[in-house]
Amino acid sequence: MAGKKVLIVYAHQEPRSFNGSLKDVAVAELSRQGCTVTVSDLYAMDFEPRATRKDITGGKMVPEYTVLYMNCALSSPEFFSYGVEAYEACKKRSLTSDIIAEQKKVQEADLVMFQFPLYWFSVPAVLKGWMDRVLCQGFAFDLPGFYDDGLLKGKLAILSLTTGGTADMYWKTGASGDFRYFLWPLQHGTLHFCGFKVLAPHISFAPEFASEEERRGMVASWAQRLKTIWKEEPIPCWPPWYFGQ
């Protein structure tokens, strides 16, 4: 939809991968609609996944005085609590520049899309680090100010992911259980917690075991869905959607 802004947070090492193809077709289709599309290619950016004291800058640091300077920038230097310090730094706009840059992209986006391969029923470490560092208290949520009152309310989010296992493995009677089970901490515990309205996930099952024709069909299916993505209603992101009544 013309005028809409989309952020794609992309986590795959290989540009020519199937995930890369899904990301590329999303950029193409959404751009065709007149959307402004921004991609955060986390591996290409060498994005830092670790949440450490270095995120709490309080300004520029002189290398030889880094430890002393960082301690001075902390609200409680005698006992380091990342959550507390990130919250205070967020309020002062003194988080590191890479975090602030990603927060600006999120703030400007109408839709945030996450494109990634499923790792151990979760996201790759670099994407988990993005969530840990970018979606901090004071920016994405507060206390109070979470779930339907999260600070990112009014924005849409969607997970587009690939699996190693086939679709039949991800039902209640399958070896891996219902796919909604592993989506609970991502969609509800992270995105909904921050206020996002969450669209139904797009899961491409086992592309590595699919034929070239089947993979092309998966990419085409994603492109087709994106044509009407702005008309979709969010899922009811509460326990019954994931675990039943």
Predicted pLDDT at 77: 84
Start-to-end Cα distance in the chain:
36
pLDDT tens-place string over residues 58-114: 544 445 444 444 555 788 888 999 999 999 999 999 999 999 999 999 999 999 999
Q: How many CB atoms lie within 10 A of CB 50?
A: 10
Nearest in space to 142 (alpha carbons), one of 87, 201, 101, 95: 87
Q: From CA 58, how far away is CA 114, in angstroms rounded?
A: 30
Q: From CA 163, how far away is CA 172, in angstroms rounded?
A: 16
pLDDT tens-place string over residues 154-200: 999 999 999 999 999 999 999 999 999 999 999 999 999 999 999 99
How many H helices and E strands in the chain? 8, 6
Instruction: Give the distance, in angstroms, between the CA of residue 215 and the centroid of all CA atoms in the same chain.
Output: 24
Residue corresponding to tokens 């975090």: 99
Residues 6+ apart with CB under 8 A from 140: 106, 134, 150, 151, 152, 194, 195
Instruction: Give the distance, in angstroms, between the CA of residue 191 and the centroid of all CA atoms in the same chain.
Output: 8
